[in-house]
Structures are given as C-alpha cells and as structure tokens.
Chains A and B, each alone.
Chain A
C-alpha cells in the first residue's frame, strides 16, 4: 500500500467522520465544523488521487478543483456562521427546532 492510497483512505475516513457528526450533533457550530471536515476529506481525496503513479508528476487539474472547492467552502461557512448567529439571536439557542415536537 503506497502513501497516495493512504491519503485517499484518510480522506474517505474524514468524510465519514464529518457525516456522522453532521447528523448526530444538535449544536449548529458543531454541524458547521462537521461540514468543513467533510469538505477537507473530499479535498484530500482529490489531491491524493491526482498522483496516479510514483514516476509521473501529479495531474494539476484536481488541484485547481480543490482551490475552487476551498473558495466555495469558505463562502458557505461564512454564510452558515452568520445564519447561526441570527438563529441564536432569534430563538435563544443555536440549535434547530425539532419538527416532531411542533
């Protein structure tokens, strides 16, 4: 097993870890962090898979995709944080209301 494959597996692990946290945690800040960890996982997979073999130089296209992805993730996180602040201002706590209780 080479290093590149290991990085890709770590990426998959981060994605699953983030997914678990996104679903299980109620606090919005934790959910936003979980989303960022998932994003990190996907980016790691993209970068790792860009190097197909040891001899050939890595493919630059996925790197460009990761940069685009980071820009998107930063803006999404900014919007999410602002929304979270607004929600906690309005409802008093930074959690989403449980629909079934209504």
Chain B
C-alpha cells in the first residue's frame, strides 16, 4: 500500500480535483450536489494522504511537466502549506454539507461550479512556490469569490460584490506590478531563488510597497477594510463563511510567505511597526464597530476585521521572538477560520429561522434552536479567546511574547480586544434568550444546517487541545525560519 501511495503527486490532484469537479457540476447541473460532495470529500482524503507523504518524506516538491524552477512551475508544500490546505478542506467539507440544504434550485446549480473553482484556486495558492503563480491564483480566487458574493442577487449583495471586485482587482494589479519589478531586478519568480538573490536596492523597496499594499488591501487590514463588511454581510451564509474563514487568510498567507522568504531577511526598518500599529487599530476599530451593529451578519463581518488585526500584530513581535510568534499567529488564523465559519453558518440558520438578522428582534432562539445557539456560543468562546479553545492558545502565545518583550501597547490591545469581543458576543447571546417585541412564526431549519455549524464550533474548541499535534506539523520544513529557503 505504502509503496503505491507514496509516489502519487497529491499536490497536483488537490488542484485538478476541484477544477474537474467544478467543470462537471457546470456540465451536469442536475447532479451537481452529488458531484460537489464527492469532490470535496475526495479533496479531504487527498489532504490526509499529502499529510502522511510530507510527514514521512519531508517537504513536498513537484515540478509540473518536469520543467523545473527557473522556467517551469513548481508546487511546494511544507508544514504551513499543509496546515492551510487541511483547514481549507475541513471548513470546505462542512460548508459543502451545509450548502446541500441551504441552496435551492436554481441557485444550487450555480453555486457548486463557482465554489469548486474557488477551492481549486485556494488549493493552488497554498501549493504555489513562485510569485507569478501566486498572482494567477489570487485572481482566480478573487473572481470566484466575487461571483459567489453576488449569487443571491439583490441590491446590497450586488453593490457589495462590485465594491469587492474593484478592491480585489486593484490589489492584484499592485501585486503584479511588484512581480514585474522583482523579475526585472533578479531574473526569477521562484520564491526560493528570489530569496537567495535579493539585495537591499531601491527596486525591492518599490516591489515591497506595491505587493504589501495590494495584499493588505486584499486581507482587509484597517483602514483598507471598507470592502469587507458589505461583501461578507450580504453574501449567502455559506459563502460568507468561506470568505471570512479562508479567502482573507489566503492573502495574509502570501504576505507572510513573501515576508519570511524574500523581504524579511533584508531587515527593513519600520515595516513591522507599521503593520503592528495598523493591526492594533484594526482590533480596536473593528471591535467597536461590531459592538455598534444592529444586524447579526454585519456584526460578525466587523468581528472579522478585528480578528485580522491580531494576525498583523505578530510582525513587530517577530523581530525578537521569531518563529514562536508565527506559530501563534497561524494557530490563531486556523482557529478563527473554524470559529468564524461556525458563526456565519449559525447566522444563516437564524436568518432562515426568523427571516431577518436584526439582533434585537431575535425571538427565544435558545429554546427553539438550541444547537444553533450553542454553536454560536462555542464559536464565541474561541473568538473571545477563553480557554479551552484554539483562539485561547493563539492569543495566549501572542500575549506571552508581548509580555516577555515588554511591548505594552500590544499587551493592552490584546486584552482590550478580548473584552470588546466578549461584549459583542454576549450582546448577541443576551437577545437569544429573550422574547422579541414582535414575535414571528418560526420556520424550520434543516437539522443538517444546525449540526454543520455545531461541528465547526466544536472544531474551534477542540483546537485548544490539539496544540501538541498541530504545532509540530506546522513546523515541518521550517517555514518560519527567516531566510531558510530550500533551493
């Protein structure tokens, strides 16, 4: 068995499967649900196979068509890529199960091809080893994500999608400009080769500025978050879940990779502090805005803006603490992916149940939808960062580095962020228990949709106990050692 499977190029399969599945769903819309579920399950199995391959044989590298790095396209997977692929597959699988009940015809047959294309783009992004390929996957991801946002139609969703499209296109173009400059300067687009050749010359500053700005816009870091709340709040629930959980993380992942392997070793003054300051501002601003919202999905979307801030706080801390901070941040990112997708799915259930998502008009949710309310509360535990949860581990590790470095402004923002998160989560939970002023006839929510949200929320809590497994996996191939690139 092992001899047969160790030679299979799982990375290639991870990209081809969703592409082929998406095409098949487009060609045979009548059975698109079945095709979609089969494809997503097959992706989950392939990720597990890739995990065993990487665990036994070290980092995965595949040269497509045998062309090799300078000219051809290389696929590359170390512990960090593997973890991102795994969280994509896991969230993707649960969201797909949810979607089988959520979407009715004719939306269903439009949803599946786009969703599988988005999965293909995400998988390809996490496996790419060169910056031009990253640009192509960024664009694929953006276009699929925008089309999914606009899926349900209606004024809010369409203008949200349009704003999202313009922001994402602007981000990609700035990134491409950076790629052009780096290629001109150092004659390669391969991240490893660039890492060896790069020097501190003006063209690199320009490339860093353009790529950094483009990726920050796409990761919705404060003050470039303007496109996120309208898009995430007006998209259908499973789409919001995927956008908040995976799509914004993907552009942060690229920024992290570029920083670690290309720009970080140059020791650029000020970039880290700038990201740190904007991250802190994002936590405070996003949380306060979340607290002010009257609609549930907008509240969750602003909470995403706040939680993304934590990821950027790691940049100033990493100068002294190094790899430990990056592990913490990736832990926080995957916990947030689970918890936030659970929250959006729960919000979808409430929307389906009451026909609206006004927080103040929620009517005895705990009594009538106990599983959904439980899922929201458990996901909230991880978002706030209470033990035991994945969010707690990530925030605790961040707090520990901030304390040892005596970086007090980050310590204060970390604590303040958790308090504000607790405030907006409990605000929602408070209304869940009470009777609304204008009671309404409840509609039934499919059991599958309730338990899908619960499953993801439990995953976010379980991550609190998984650190001994996740942390070593993440460090396969030393992705966080600055400048440690494998040629």
The residues of A with any CB-CB pair to B shorter than 8 Å are 15, 19, 22, 28, 31, 35, 38-39, 42, 45-46, 49, 61-62, 65, 68-69, 72, 75-76, 79-80, 83-84, 86-87, 90-91, 96-97, 99
Q: State which of A19, A38, A45 has its C-beta within 8 Å of the C-beta of B180.
A: A45
Contact with A along B121-132 (1 / 0, CB 8 A): 000000000001
B132 touches A83 (CB 8 A): no
Interface of A is mostly: helix
User: Is A42 in contact with B165, judged by CB distance below 8 angstroms?
Assistant: no
**Is there an interface contact between B180 and A42, defined as CB atoms closer than 8 Å?**
yes
CB distance from A9 to the nearest CB of B (A): 13
Q: Which residues of A contact B155 (CB under 8 A)?
A: 87, 90-91
Residues A83 and B176 in contact, CB atoms below 8 Å apart: no
Contact, CB under 8 Å: A96 / B177 = no
What are the residues of chain B within 8 A of A76 when measuring CB–CB?
Answer: 139, 142-143, 165, 169
Q: How many angstroms from the CA of A42 to the CA of B184 in the assembled complex?
A: 13
Q: Check A83/B173 contact, CB under 8 A, given A42-B180, A61-B183.
A: no
**B146 and A79: CB pair below 8 A?**
yes
B177 contacts A90, CB within 8 Å? no
Closest-CB distance, A99 to chain B (whole angstroms):
7
Q: What's the least CB distance linking B49 to chain A, in Å? A: 30
Chain A residues whose C-beta falls within 8 Å of the C-beta of B161 in the assembled complex = 83
Those of B180-212 within 8 Å (CB) of chain A: 180-181, 183-184
- Bound complex: CA A46 to CA B230 (Å): 34
For B154, what are the chain A residues with a Cβ–Cβ distance below 8 Å?
A: 90
Q: Which of A31, A42, A62 has the most C-beta atoms of chain B within 10 angstroms of its own C-beta?
A: A42
B233 to nearest A CB, angstroms?
12
| Complex Cα–Cα for A75 and B230 (A) | 23
Beta-carbon contact of A38 and B173 below 8 Å: yes
Known: A72-B139, A79-B147, A83-B146. Contact between A90 and B169, CB under 8 A?
A: no
Query: With a CB–CB cut-off of 8 A, which chain B residues contact A90?
Result: 153-155, 158
Q: Is B8 an interface residue (CB 8 A)?
A: no
B471: interface (CB < 8 Å): no
Does A91 lie within 8 Å of B159, measured CB to CB? yes
